[in-house]
A = this chain, B = another copy of it.
Amino acid sequence: MKTGSEYIESLRRLKTKVYAFGEQVTDLVDNPLFRPHINAAAVTYDMAHDPVTEDLVTAVSHLTGKRISRFTHIHQSTEDLVKKVKMLRMIARRTGTCFQRCVGFDGLNALYSVTYEMDQNLGTNYHERFKEYLLYVQDTDIMVAGSMTDPKGDRSLRPSQQADPDLYVHVVEKNEKGIVLRGAKAHQTGIVNSHEMLIMPTTAMTAEDARYAVACAIPVDAPGVIHVFGRQTNDSRKNGQIDQGNARYGIVGGEALTVLENVFVPWERVFMCGEWQFAGTLVERFASYHRQNYGGCKGGVSDVIIGATALIADYNGVAKASHVRDKLTEMIHLTETLYAGSIACSAEGRPTPSGAYFVDPLLANITKLNVTRFIYEICRLSHDIAGGFIATLPSEQDLRCPEVGPYVEKYFRGVASVPTEDRIRIARLIENMTGGTALAESMHGAGSPQAQRVMIMRQGNLEQKKKLARILAGIPEKE
């Protein structure tokens, strides 16, 4: 298994074609626009080598018996499904952001069982071919992006009905050696710092759409592949550190539009080609695995937001106000309700015909619906406690400026014992984690005294959450 730095170095060897702000990127690994995303993904590699975390972050391959990264593993039990959720929450608590590897992970698991079922039903031979690819992935420990979402154009029309036939990825040529693809995939999380991409169809299809029913693996730097990197909130706020909030790992996953301009794929890497009957099954399989994640990764991100909010309450001198306790309790309540959904759909998982385990899709779905509602409520409560100053803070340059820096220092102090810079760092962490792109990205996807009693039982919990926030905001540990 790769280490974080081996992963980072391996990216330098790729010839990935990336555009951002209208120019081709030549220094991807060291460019501050991309580096935080790369750092976040690197954590998933490093944690596989840490004895404290390896139980969750690694697994034993059912194909080879070797220890592999869990992100390349096919779930063999409900325990594996539960460990996936716990791993995601653990890493999100450390990075405070998206670490981008779950999409490919879910794609591998979805294709594993669906290729098996296709072969059983249609007499094709995709499953063995896919297992070969899986062995390669487990062996090289590469990062695989999951490429499902097509641009889709007019949502009221099916793929084959669009004015522009390229609005869904499709096969434009088949020959002895392989197939040629055209189209694009949107919202490609982590793709510019991945090694390969796993193409999958984005919707159920009919016979007319057969050429759109295609699944395969492609290197992200294959000829004809061009990535246009998406803007994020505050992505031009790169001078200095504080104002980025979480300068090391960033706030979101880093997404791109990936264009496929007649890209060749050899048959060894093709896992569906025309079997439109299974497009819907594959989408649903993938989507359920993906919905399973939210109580893990967003739960962990929410832990950091709660910690940051509790710290701001401390810094403002309001931590003991009963309405502040109530609101923090409610934030924990919402976060744990998300987590309960992820755990429940995992514990209620069942084996598929291929032997791979699948989550309970109904319970995975409620998790997804809850996350799209609760994240806004969590942000609202965070803003309510933090107060308007997270929106009106001066810049890091003002803090460093000889003329006005002393005023910023003086007037943004909260309780006398806490350095103003710490207070600003936490406020910036909240500002960035609860606004703009962070909120919108979540769309991919209680207050009673009894509650407080249980939460207070878990007070260590709140202290621990504060610690997570402090680390990400770059505030040195108090001894």
Contacts and interface: CB of A to CB of B under 8 A. Distances in A.
Interface of A: 19-24, 82, 151, 153-157, 162-164, 166-167, 184, 186-187, 226, 228-237, 243, 252, 255-257, 259, 284, 287, 316-318, 320-323, 326, 333, 336-337, 339-341, 343-348, 361-363, 365-370, 372-373, 376-377, 379-380, 383-384, 386-395, 397-398, 400-401, 403-405, 407-408, 410-416, 431, 434-437, 439-441, 443-444, 446-451, 453-455, 457-458
Nearest to A236: B236
Contacts of A394: 19-20, 228-231, 257
A111 B458 CA distance: 23
A27 B386 CA distance: 33
Given A163-B416, A233-B233, A322-B326, 16 more contacts: A21-B395, A155-B318, A230-B391, A233-B436, A234-B436, A236-B236, A256-B392, A287-B450, A339-B344, A339-B363, A340-B340, A346-B347, A369-B446, A369-B451, A372-B380, A435-B439
A153 B257 contact: no
Given A316-B155, A413-B153, A340 B333 contact: no
B230 A370 contact: no
Contacts of A348: 343
B436 A431 contact: yes
Contacts of A333: 366, 369
Contacts of A377: 376
A37 B184 CA distance: 39
Given A155-B316, A379-B439, A392 B187 contact: yes
A267 to B, nearest CB: 27
Shortest beta-carbon contacts, A-B, top 4: A22-B397, A435-B436, A322-B322, A347-B347
B341 A337 contact: yes
A22 to B, nearest CB: 3
Given A226-B404, A343-B344, A446-B369, A233 B234 contact: yes
Given A394-B230, A411-B186, A446-B369, A437 B435 contact: yes
Given A318-B156, A401-B19, A376 B373 contact: no
Contact of A345 (B19, B340, B362): B340
B447 A404 contact: no
B404 A19 contact: yes
Contacts of A373: 380, 446
Contact of A340 (B344, B398, B408, B436): B344
Nearest to A437: B391
Contacts of A395: 20-22, 231
22 contacts: A21-B398, A153-B414, A153-B415, A184-B407, A231-B393, A232-B391, A233-B431, A233-B436, A236-B237, A257-B412, A284-B457, A344-B344, A362-B454, A365-B454, A372-B446, A376-B377, A376-B380, A384-B443, A388-B443, A391-B437, A391-B443, A435-B440
Contacts of A403: 19, 24
A414 B156 CA distance: 10
A6 to B, nearest CB: 29
Given A156-B317, A384-B372, A394-B229, A166 B400 contact: no
A48 B288 CA distance: 35
Nearest to A390: B440
A390 B186 CA distance: 12
Q: Which of A153, A162, A320 has the most CB of B within 10 A?
A: A153
Contacts of A259: 404, 407, 411
B317 A336 contact: no
Contacts of A458: 362
Nearest to A443: B383
Nearest to A405: B22
Contacts of A389: 186-187
Given A154-B316, A394-B230, A368 B450 contact: yes
Contacts of A347: 82, 343-344, 346-347
B257 A365 contact: no
Nearest to A238: B236
Given A20-B398, A439-B383, A448-B369, A392 B255 contact: yes
A153 B410 CA distance: 9
A265 to B, nearest CB: 20
A393 B20 CA distance: 11
